[in-house]
């Protein structure tokens, strides 16, 4: 039985972020992360498969939010409304308490091409998840793909704005703004 | 001096496609391709850097068509009209004479994960090229990214439809249809 260790995972995560930011992701070992908060490497590996997982371990929940959000749209919702609902569900995961963490995480990822490639991959995973959820709601092609790709793009743009140093709007506000801009782009000129 | 060899490159390309389709991309060597049309491996490498280039060598021209198409839009064009103009320019590269080749090429690529990954990468290259061309025309963010990503998605959808066995619409017609579907997706419900 693994002992119940309140907050251990989040202590390890905070320590990892600090060391990655200070010394670089490649230069930091799991043992160093653990030692910096008085824990053993073995404890680190009870919580994370590897040090990369510190930065990417919420992926399944993140994708589930897209699926849940599409499912939560009202019965006669348009594809656009399903995407809005999905992005609103995802936005709930990006509250103010998370913004400082997301800013540091972004710096670490931008400094490492392999991590940046992995992060970029999240865009296509989000689009594929959205497309599957839209198909399940009866949205046909090519609307499902157009909507899913637009949703993934909108989230990417919103996230980039949200982590900017001088940005004060909430994620939900930014997403509303980006969706309005998507609409005005596509409206006949 | 390299001798003038009319049609050699296209003979090599046709032979390569046939062998890739029959035996698989990995199982076919440059020497086999050359020999199948009575040429030497050395001649093959005068025309293609490697056998993968047989499938991807038009990439620079393809991306240039996006840039040229955005540049060709009228002075007061909206971002949507610039994307329409870009896709119209790209569509000219996909004439009826090319459709049989594109269909075989797609089968070869779908059968090989590394080639499929490379093909997928063309989507982000198209989006980046479109975004740069839109910036050059004064389109600001986030509209430039929304428009560029929508354009890349629309081309991907159109191409998938164009190579279907039973598809008879021209690429230009399909692109018009997909752009109309993009508009109706984004119109307020």
Question: Cβ distance A9 to A47 under 8 Å?
Answer: yes
What span, in angstroms and rounded, lies between the C-alpha atoms of B132 and B135? 5
| Count of structural domains, chain A | 2
Does residue A2 lie in a domain region? no
Q: Does B173 touch chain A (CB under 8 A)?
A: no
Overall average pLDDT of the B75-91 stretch: 97
Task: Please indicate, yes or no, whether residues A155 and A121 belong to a single structural domain of this protein.
Answer: yes
Which of B104, B111, B147 minimizes the C-alpha distance to B18? Answer: B104
Task: Please indicate, yes or no, whether residues B74 and B109 belong to a single structural domain of this protein.
Answer: yes
Q: Give Cα B11 distance to the centre of its chain.
A: 20
Q: How many CB atoms lie within 10 A of CB A127?
A: 23
Q: How many CB atoms lie within 10 A of CB A144?
A: 22
Overall average pLDDT of the B92-98 stretch: 95
Return the CATH number at A158. 1.10.357.10
Are A187 and B185 an interchain contact pair (Cβ–Cβ within 8 Å)?
Answer: no
Contact pairs from chain A to chain B, CB under 8 Å: 86
| Domain limit, last residue, from B16, B36, B51 | B51
pLDDT of residue A5: 56
Per-residue pLDDT reduced to its tens digit, A5-48: 569 999 999 999 999 999 999 999 999 999 999 999 999 999 99
Task: Please indicate, yes or no, whether residues B42 and B72 belong to a single structural domain of this protein.
Answer: no
Per-residue pLDDT reduced to its tens digit, A65-91: 999 999 999 999 999 999 999 999 999
Overall average pLDDT of the B22-28 stretch: 96
What span, in angstroms and rounded, lies between the C-alpha atoms of B30 and B149? 36
Which of A10, A174, A187 minimizes the C-alpha distance to A94? Answer: A174
Overall average pLDDT of the A145-155 stretch: 96
Overall average pLDDT of the B149-158 stretch: 96
Task: Please indicate, yes or no, whether residues A45 and A105 belong to a single structural domain of this protein.
Answer: no
DSSP string, A16-56: HHHHHHHH-TTT--HHHHHHHTT--HHHHHHH-SSTTHHHH
Overall average pLDDT of the B140-162 stretch: 96
What is the chain A residue with the closest CA to B174? A142
Overall average pLDDT of the B147-174 stretch: 96
pLDDT of B1 over the 90 cut: no
Phi first, then psi: give them for residue B170, nearest 5 degrees: -75, 165
Task: Please indicate, yes or no, whether residues A129 and A147 belong to a single structural domain of this protein.
Answer: yes
Q: Does B161 touch chain A (CB under 8 A)?
A: yes
Return the CATH number at A24. 1.10.10.60
CA-to-CA separations, A172 to A69, A80, A92, A99, A124, in angstroms, rounded: 13, 16, 8, 13, 21
Task: Please indicate, yes or no, whether residues A78 and A121 belong to a single structural domain of this protein.
Answer: yes
Per-residue pLDDT reduced to its tens digit, A37-48: 999 999 999 999
| A179 CA: distance to closest CA in chain B (Å) | 9
Task: Please indicate, yes or no, whether residues A30 and A123 belong to a single structural domain of this protein.
Answer: no
Are B189 and A154 an interchain contact pair (Cβ–Cβ within 8 Å)?
Answer: no
At A1, the pLDDT band (50, 70, 90 cuts) reads very low
Task: Please indicate, yes or no, whether residues B133 and B96 belong to a single structural domain of this protein.
Answer: yes
ipTM, 2 decimals? 0.83
Does residue B130 lie in a domain region? yes
pLDDT of B6 over the 70 cut: no
Task: Please indicate, yes or no, whether residues A30 and A80 belong to a single structural domain of this protein.
Answer: no
Sign of CA dihedral B179, A71, A96, A34: negative
Question: Cβ distance A66 to A46 under 8 Å?
Answer: no
pLDDT of residue B121: 87
Task: Please indicate, yes or no, whether residues A161 and A176 belong to a single structural domain of this protein.
Answer: yes
pLDDT of B15 over the 90 cut: yes
Are A183 and B183 an interchain contact pair (Cβ–Cβ within 8 Å)?
Answer: no
pLDDT of residue B3: 53
| B58 CA: distance to closest CA in chain A (Å) | 25
Chain A residues in contact with B149 (beta carbon < 8 A): 149-150, 153
Which of A135, A143, A153 minimizes the C-alpha distance to B186? Answer: A143
At B5, the pLDDT band (50, 70, 90 cuts) reads low
CA-to-CA separations, A88 to A66, A82, A177, B142, in angstroms, rounded: 9, 10, 12, 19
Does residue B62 lie in a domain region? yes
Question: Cβ distance B170 to B158 under 8 Å?
Answer: no
Question: Cβ distance B188 to B128 under 8 Å?
Answer: no
Does residue A14 lie in a domain region? yes
Instruction: Look at chain B and count its residues.
Output: 189
Task: Please indicate, yes or no, whether residues A34 and A86 belong to a single structural domain of this protein.
Answer: no
Cross-chain CB nearest to A146 (options B78, B124, B157): B157
Does residue A100 lie in a domain region? yes
pLDDT of B136 over the 80 cut: yes
Q: Give Cα B43 distance to the centre of its chain.
A: 25
Does residue A1 lie in a domain region? no
What is the chain B residue with the closest CA to A175? B142
Q: Does A164 touch chain B (CB under 8 A)?
A: no
pLDDT of residue A187: 81
Does residue A137 lie in a domain region? yes
| B121 CA: distance to closest CA in chain A (Å) | 11
Q: How many CB atoms lie within 10 A of CB B64?
A: 14
Q: Does B142 touch chain A (CB under 8 A)?
A: yes
Q: Does B6 touch chain A (CB under 8 A)?
A: no
Does residue B175 lie in a domain region? yes
CA-to-CA separations, A33 to A26, B68, B131, B176, in angstroms, rounded: 12, 51, 40, 55
- The parent domain of residue B39 ranges over 8-51
Task: Please indicate, yes or no, whether residues B41 and B112 belong to a single structural domain of this protein.
Answer: no
Question: Cβ distance B128 to B148 under 8 Å?
Answer: yes
pLDDT of residue B139: 97
**Average pLDDT of chain B to the nearest whole number:** 94
Are A161 and B142 an interchain contact pair (Cβ–Cβ within 8 Å)?
Answer: yes
Instruction: Give residues 100 to 129 of B whose Cβ lies within 8 Å of A.
Output: 120, 124
């Amino acid at each position: 039985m693994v002992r119940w260790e309140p907050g251990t995972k989040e202590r390890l995560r905070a320590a990892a972020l600090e060391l990655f930011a200070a010394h670089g992701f490649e230069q930091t070992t799991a043992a160093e992360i653990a030692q910096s908060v008085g824990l053993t490497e073995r404890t680190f590996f009870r919580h994370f498969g590897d040090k990369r997982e510190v930065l990417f371990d919420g992926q399944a929940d993140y994708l589930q939010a897209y699926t849940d959000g599409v499912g939560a749209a009202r019965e006669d919702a348009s594809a656009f409304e399903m995407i809005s609902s999905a992005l609103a569900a995802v936005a709930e995961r990006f509250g103010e308490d998370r913004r400082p963490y997301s800013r540091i995480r972004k710096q670490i990822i931008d400094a490492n091409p392999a991590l940046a490639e992995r992060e970029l991959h999240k865009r296509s995973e989000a689009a594929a998840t959205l497309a599957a959820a839209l198909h399940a709601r009866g949205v046909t092609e090519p609307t499902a793909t157009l909507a899913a790709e637009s949703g993934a793009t909108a989230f990417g743009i919103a996230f980039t704005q949200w982590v900017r140093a001088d940005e004060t709007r909430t994620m939900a506000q930014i997403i509303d703004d980006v969706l309005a801009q998507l609409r005005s782009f596509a409206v006949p000129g």
